[in-house]
Amino acid sequence: MAKDKDRGLNKGLTSYGDSAFSLFLRKAFIKGMGYSDDALDRPIVGIVDTFSAYNACHANVPDLVEAVKRGVMLAGALPVPFPTISIHESFAYPTSMFTRNLMSMDTEEMIRAQPMDAVVLIGGCDKTVPAQLMGAASANVPAIQLVTGPMMTGSHRGERVGACTDCRRFWGRYRAGEIDDQEIADVNNQLVPGAGTCGVMGTASTMALVTEALGMMAPGGATPPAVSADRRRIAETTGALAVNMAAQDLTPDKIMTQKAFENALTVLLATGGSTNGIVHLAAIAGRAGFELDLDAFDKLGRDVPVLVDLKPSGQNYMEDLHRAGGLPTILRELKDHLHLDCLTVTGRTLGENIEAAPGGWEQSIVSPIGKPLFPEGGMAVLRGNLAPGGAIVKQSAASPHLMTHRGRAIVFSSIADMGARVDDPDLDVTEDDILVLQNAGPKGAPGMPEAGYMPIPKKIAAKGIKDMVRISDARMSGTASGTIVLHVTPESAEGGPLALVRTGDMISLDVPNRSLTLEVSDAELAERKKAFTPPVHEGSDRGYKKLYMDTVTQADTGCDFDFLIPEKPARVPGA
Ligand code: FES
């Protein structure tokens, strides 16, 4: 029997009214797997196995589980893999965001329900890492994140390609008639050449980097490609670190502090990271007891420039960032903007981890802080009568000539309406207009789909126009680019001002001054509001969908379920 009543197999005994019998029964059953008493007396490290045959981003999870197990056993503990939900972006109906909170609840409850002294979270595809960190923050058992790692790039007719910025670029060219059916079929074979997460600065790469900056990942763990030996070595190290964390009772609340979240936000800005990153960090911070202050985040972005030359803000891929030294190369440049005294999964501070990392070398992926790729942070927060609760624009991936723009609104009332009309040759639209999409927010769609990257109407695209101002309450893939205003809060399905926009209204976007204005009088908006009715979604009266519709919060608080968020004692940034 384990000696410490709160460790190993003794933890969280199933309730039979007789704790000694509960332990006896538990040991009898697990011995059915062939374990010895020696093995069962060790500290236990749970390993969250998110392999799914639907999820190519997690195709290497079985290999990583083996490598983590090796690390755990070399450090003298017992590894116990167990499954949870796995979510892939393209295999989640209606959206992956809809199921993220379900995965976070699964993760939290399985960590809580099963005996483990520490847990290794293996995630990778966009929603999985935030879901796991949300669950881990709530369970507050020592936890360390391992990601599956980015995929390698493919090659199409001599050109390097990778999901999914190039997916969108080639699809845009196909829509504009620049490439034919054969070429679009050919490139489809090359965009995802193997296991791993999207190889650009999309949401998966963003979340990997901010998680390492947050202190929840082994140093250097964000960038090794999924199929590399480095990735397996990081997995082994992660297993060993988990054992150490169990011994020190290094729980998430000791690592995910207010200052640590500020570090993560700084890295989000400096990497030109995905706009989804701000929603997920708000949700993780919420679970840890912090509320994200969007205006303070915007202020931070005035001082933290974009340093990383990866698509879609730049030109390269994650494998290039790995060769350039990964996150430590970025952190070295950002030192003056970081809280170096934050504790990490190594038991050392972020500053000590940076010192211990291999020294820098000449490379062209991470710019020196004095010579940035973009002078401000990747994202800006907009306010105005169209977005009283805020909206986000990824300014580093927008068109400079559209950053200040006034145009006529062309309104689509839903994603279906947009699909039906956007390519209609009779649609009255010019490239100077502003496309507006309603009912694509957390409740509107539902599930806040990545529909904010609205297609340029075919007749405009055919003229060679690649960008227009687009505004919605939706999200956008981190792999996309354009002058696209997202996460308008409150969303239109909640009766926000976005719901009141009519085709022909004038809208002003002023990114330098952070404003988004609907040029319609308050009196007229009040009149329109009287006619507002929220959309009704079939199936919302039962099951998970009912739970989602009844309790999901708005984008500025991370689209978490309201009952999962504890009291909020502090705001981040602001440490
Ligand atoms: Fe999984 Fe892009 S679809 S990371």
pLDDT at 101 over 70: yes
DSSP 151: P
Identify the pLDDT of residue 2: 39
The number of CA neighbours under 13 Å toward the Cβ of 258 is 12
* Residue 1: pLDDT band with limits 50, 70, 90: very low
- Is the CB of 86 within 6 Å of ligand 1? no
Centroid of ligand 1 to alpha carbon of 126 (angstroms): 6
Identify the pLDDT of residue 478: 81
Per residue in 343-393, pLDDT (tens digit) is 999 999 999 999 999 888 999 999 999 999 999 999 999 999 999 999 999
Residue with the smallest CA separation from ligand 1 atom 3 is 89
The residue extents of the domains of the chain are 154-188, 380-538
**Tally of CB atoms within 10 A around 408:** 15
Smallest CA-to-CA distance from 445 within 523, 359, 545 is with: 545
Contact assessment for residue 58 and residue 49, using Cβ atoms and an 8 Å cutoff: no
- Is the CB of 204 within 6 Å of ligand 1? yes
Centroid of ligand 1 to alpha carbon of 202 (angstroms): 8
Most distant CA pair in the chain: distance in Å?
Answer: 77
- Is the CB of 202 within 6 Å of ligand 1? yes
Centroid of ligand 1 to alpha carbon of 57 (angstroms): 6
Q: Among 55, 61, 125, 211, which residue has the most ligand 1 atoms within 8 Å of its CB, making it the best to mutate?
A: 125
Per residue in 424-441, pLDDT (tens digit) is 999 999 999 999 999 999
- The residue type of 336 is D
Q: Which atom of ligand 1 is nearest to the CA of 57?
A: 1
3-class DSSP assignment, residue 484:
strand
Give me the CATH code for the 380-538 domain, please.
Answer: 3.50.30.80
- The residue type of 290 is F
Per residue in 89-98, pLDDT (tens digit) is 999 999 999 9
Q: Which atom of ligand 1 is nearest to the CA of 479?
A: 2
Distance CA 470, CA 433 (A): 9
- Is the CB of 126 within 6 Å of ligand 1? yes
* Residue 4: pLDDT band with limits 50, 70, 90: low
**Upstream peptide bond of 224 is cis (omega within 30 degrees of 0):** no
Centroid of ligand 1 to alpha carbon of 574 (angstroms): 32
CA 282, 285, 291, 297 torsion-angle sign: negative
Smallest CA-to-CA distance from 133 within 285, 284, 241, 292 is with: 284
Distance CA 280, CA 436 (A): 24
Q: What are residue 510's DSSP bridge partners?
A: 404, 515
- Is the CB of 198 within 6 Å of ligand 1? yes
pLDDT at 294 over 50: yes
Question: DSSP characters for 461-475?
Answer: HTTT----EEEESS-
Q: What are residue 459's DSSP bridge partners?
A: none
Q: Which atom of ligand 1 is nearest to the CA of 163?
A: 2
Residue with the smallest CA separation from ligand 1 atom 1 is 125
